[in-house]
A and B are shown apart, each in its own frame.
Chain A
Amino acid sequence: MNYKNQLGALALIFLLFSCEESGSERPLGVYDTGVLIMNEGAFGTNDGEVFHLDPATGEMKENIFEAENNRPFAGLLEDIVIEEDRVYLVANTGKVEIVNPGDFKSIGAVIGDLDQPRSLATSRGKLFISDYGPYDADYNTPDSYVAVVSSLDGGVVKKKIEVSNKPEDLFAVGKYVFVAGSEEGKIEIIDAETETITKTIEVSGKPAQFFEARGDLWVYSYDANMIYFQSFHLDNLTKQNSQEMPLANATSRIALDEEDRIYILTSSGWPDYSDGITIFSLFESIFIPDWKTGSGFYGIGYDLQREEIYVTNSNGFQGNGSVTVYSKDGTEVTNMEVGRGPSGFLFR
């Protein structure tokens, strides 16, 4: 899940509150509050799904896409994005499903013409979908692209904008769509009106995640030994500030708290496989390596309302995974079984 979704969700909540006062907005739906848990599913099985948790009661609703639409999600769920009063469920097996945020009923989809979609952003009433493109014989992805769809409710892919290999996160600001080109360390900026790349900025590490902090747009990147943060001037699309810190085995998964502290998931990977969470701040001198350690950490999220950290464990994808909730002082609040391959959250 993208960090921007949390901001988007917050914005939506504010919007809803303000609209409620005017009495003109729809009532809150079942899924407009609580936590959406993204379960990626297992490779080759396409059993990705969304669970819904009410953190106040602990009540968990399983497989809400299937429950509300009478058909399985049938994909590997790579990302959940909430924008323009729609929830976009991005399946890296080649489709995007679009549902209503309140009741999760299907609104539309993008099916066909996608290969391995990773994330999505909206701008100027269009969808922009980052996609690795097809694998070649050596399992490289030289034909990565950002797909453009003309309607917010899905439909056919109108155009594929060629970008650097393995684009991940997207972030839309005004008419610009920022693309995190993970393999070649490039931030490519698409003009949503002309649907072309207007600027390419090189950054250190593998850019993985955009986020907004204290009024600036940042991108988080990492490599085997370091983490990097780069912010941008949005007026002239140039680099602004950058910070870096030695940290081994960082992954693409991060979460931000209300004080803009960044929780970074680390994993030594094969063969030793020891995982951890490191806390870092761009604005204070905070760097706490291995704030938590464990094995099997797969995804991370932060609940701004309750000030709690959610960490997922994939349990080797053999069956269901689990989620452990920690308070900010590091004590475990609760642990629960969720779906297969839990990888992220959308806090509503």
Chain B
Amino acid sequence: MTLLFWVFSVFGLVPEQDTVSLEQVEVYAPALDRFAQGQKLINFESKVLESYSARSLAELLQEQSPVFIRQYGAGMLASPSFRGTSAGHTAIFWNGLPINSPSLGQSDLSILPLEAIDQAQLHFGSSGALFGNEAIGGSLHLNSKTDFGKGFEGKIAQTVGSFGLFNTALSGGFSSNKFSSKTRVYRQFALNDFSFRDISRPGSPEVNEDHAQTEQRGMVQDLAWNISDKSQLKAAFWWNKAEREIQPVMGSNTVDHQSDESFRAVLDYFRFGTGSVWNLKAGWVQDKMIFNESLNETRQFFAATDWDFAKGNSWQFKAGLRATFIQGDLSTYSTTDQRVELYQSGRWTASEDLSLSLNLRQFAYLDNLVPFLPGIGGDWKFWDSDSQQLLLKASVGKGFKIPTLNDQFWSPGGNPNLLPEESVSGEIGLNWLKKGGFSWDQSLTYYRMQVDNWIIWLPQGSVWSPENIREVQNQGIEYQGKANWKIGGIKWDLGLSYTFSEALDLTSEPANPRQLPYTPKHQANGNLSAEYAGVVLNLGSFFVGQRAIGTGNARILDSYQIWNAGLQFSDLKWGNTRFPLSFQVLNLLDKDYQVLYLRAMPGRSYQFNLTIHL
């Protein structure tokens, strides 16, 4: 365990401020910044996102957050496990639209390239009241950032690396005070012909992976128009297509191919009043997945409106309504679903040091009503001196997940009688902020959660069918700390994070509950960087503890620790053109490891990135 404290990380615990006027910051800031009192948030700094832009969201979260990512190989399916919950227990939003697949009830983080977004925030804990369906372990919020009055901006980025990595991204934008447009296109390619020790074969020979090639292409268009002082129109469109050879598990010789294509579009209208904002939102999310030759397609249309208003100086309210229409045309069934949800949030700022929020939601789908969902939380800054402050956060909330379309209708085996999964979670956390020459921001959070009616697919003869069978009790401790200081012109940044996560399966052996499969009890990560005259040297590491591959007395996979290092020249300029260069070594010590059993992962690799800012 002491080893864990030798790894370092950089974190953005303080929300990054938007560049637009103060009033509009509030508007763009998702509800999580304003009504999530007492709940833990991580807001990834833009420089961190930039440094991962040629890599994936999965890698960012694994290396820079307490979320465990179940990776099925290089560039393959990557699903989040948040506070010991399953892949379907993390709600994911893009510009306020929930984008998890309604048929699968989850997202593959490998095909959400960071190149397509500007901001990412992680929200911890059950918050069905604030975010709706699937926010059980937590939620992830991806957003575009709108700039005004910046004129023309452009960027060309090229990354080349080991195993045939070749990523290209172009973006161009123009903004006046009235109008803003940003277009980006990208292509991310990896041959993934890394070598690994194939322990499924006699003699465990070193072989090259020959069926894990991935290619992603995409286009994002962001538009915003200040129609008047009182109103604004915003739109965003994202097309992403991923073609992947599915890396077989060692010992299998499958040659599966998966194609995922998504269209996502959102249109927002804002009307600003005195101390109030009215928002009208329409969204479209279409996912088309072809596995070998089997086609699965879902379409979701969202219509929502909410009204956000202040009452006096200390009260802030938000009330809204969202309707979702879903059409699913899957390989074995077709169906439709309609969902309606009503939500209200209130925040009371009792004093400069104390604020409380209350969130409520009522959700209905098909002929079912999800029990009324409340959430409550508070922030109390109980000590505030010139250089230091201590903040206590506490919250309790409920979460839920309605059965996915596949859970209900897959043929054969779908179970239309499933109940929603439900959770209750609470957390208490302490933040300690110190300003000055040696500054830090540290937080320690304890959480506890109970998830009931957890849906598991079980074999029923030769047919698998889902049941509301599992009950899980989670608790854990999360520590995040970052510090920075300057010595002799060198700016040092140090980040450390450690997570203890217990997720006990109360179903399989109630008398002797054990940790859920693929849920490490211990995780840690960290990063140390030194910057001098625009040259940044960075050393990072992450540790993932042992995890079982099944319930009960199942096989235990070894823990692993991976080191990454990077060198960046961030101030290179030619005239007005900035062209930062970076070089990264991933898996520096060439560690042979598996995240999931018998899924080969790449050894040491190199990446070289050149970005030209026009």
Which residues from B are CB-within-8-Å of A273?
460-461
Which residues from A are CB-within-8-Å of B294?
137
Within 8 A of B (CB), among A330-348: 337, 340
CB distance from B466 to the nearest CB of A (A): 11
Given A94-B252, A94-B253: A270 touches B200 (CB 8 Å cut-off): no
The answer to whether B204 has its CB under 8 Å from any CB of chain A is: yes
Given A74-B598, A337-B552: A318 touches B202 (CB 8 Å cut-off): no
Residues B251 and A91 in contact, CB atoms below 8 Å apart: yes
Given A71-B199, A93-B252, A94-B252: A320 touches B553 (CB 8 Å cut-off): yes
Which residues from B are CB-within-8-Å of A319?
508, 517, 548, 550-554
The answer to whether A8 has its CB under 8 Å from any CB of chain B is: no
Residues B463 and A270 in contact, CB atoms below 8 Å apart: yes
Query: Roughly how many angstroms separate A105 CA and B200 CA in the complex, as a whole number?
Result: 14
Which residues from B are CB-within-8-Å of A267?
461
The answer to whether A123 has its CB under 8 Å from any CB of chain B is: no
The answer to whether B292 has its CB under 8 Å from any CB of chain A is: yes
CB distance from B489 to the nearest CB of A (A): 53
Question: Which of B204, B294, B597 has the largest number of chain A CB atoms within 10 A?
Answer: B597
Residues B465 and A72 in contact, CB atoms below 8 Å apart: no
Which residues from A are CB-within-8-Å of B369?
none
Residue-wise, chain B 88-113 has the 8 Å CB interface mask toward A (1 for contact) of 00000000000000000000000000
The answer to whether A187 has its CB under 8 Å from any CB of chain B is: no
Within 8 A of A (CB), among B25-78: none
Measured as residues with beta carbon below 8 angstroms from the partner, the interface class of chain A is 35 or more
Query: Roughly how many angstroms separate A225 CA and B553 CA in the complex, as a whole number?
Result: 38
Q: What does DSSP make chain B's interface, helix, strand, loop or mixed?
A: loop
The answer to whether B585 has its CB under 8 Å from any CB of chain A is: no
How many residues from B make CB contacts under 8 Å with A? 37
Query: Roughly how many angstroms separate A73 CA and B199 CA in the complex, as a whole number?
Result: 9
Residue in contact with B459 in the complex, picked from A94, A108, A316, A337, CB distance below 8 Å? A316
CB distance from A247 to the nearest CB of B (A): 15
Residues B200 and A318 in contact, CB atoms below 8 Å apart: no
Query: Roughly how many angstroms separate A71 CA and B555 CA in the complex, as a whole number?
Result: 13
Query: Roughly how many angstroms separate A47 CA and B251 CA in the complex, as a whole number?
Result: 10
The answer to whether B311 has its CB under 8 Å from any CB of chain A is: no
Within 8 A of B (CB), among A56-87: 63, 71-75
Residue in contact with A271 in the complex, picked from B201, B460, B462, B517, CB distance below 8 Å? B460
Residue-wise, chain B 454-480 has the 8 Å CB interface mask toward A (1 for contact) of 001011111101000000000000000
The answer to whether B249 has its CB under 8 Å from any CB of chain A is: yes
The answer to whether B580 has its CB under 8 Å from any CB of chain A is: no
Query: Roughly how many angstroms separate A318 CA and B249 CA in the complex, as a whole number?
Result: 18
Residues B554 and A320 in contact, CB atoms below 8 Å apart: yes
Residue-wise, chain A 274-310 has the 8 Å CB interface mask toward B (1 for contact) of 0000000000000000000000000000000000000
Residues B552 and A46 in contact, CB atoms below 8 Å apart: no
Residue of A nearest to B415 (CB): A271
Residue of B nearest to A109 (CB): B202
Residue of A nearest to B412 (CB): A270
Which residues from B are CB-within-8-Å of A74?
199-200, 249-251, 598
Residues B553 and A75 in contact, CB atoms below 8 Å apart: no
A-B contact pairs, 10 of them (CB 8 A): A42-B550, A46-B249, A47-B550, A47-B555, A74-B199, A74-B200, A93-B252, A111-B202, A268-B461, A320-B551
Known A271-B415, A320-B551, A337-B553; further 18 A-B contacts with Cβ < 8 A: A44-B249, A46-B252, A47-B549, A47-B555, A75-B252, A94-B251, A94-B252, A95-B251, A109-B201, A267-B461, A269-B463, A270-B412, A270-B465, A314-B459, A315-B508, A318-B551, A319-B553, A320-B550
**Chain B residues in the interface with A (C-beta under 8 A):** 199-202, 204, 249-254, 292-294, 412-413, 415, 456, 458-463, 465, 508, 517, 548-555, 597-598
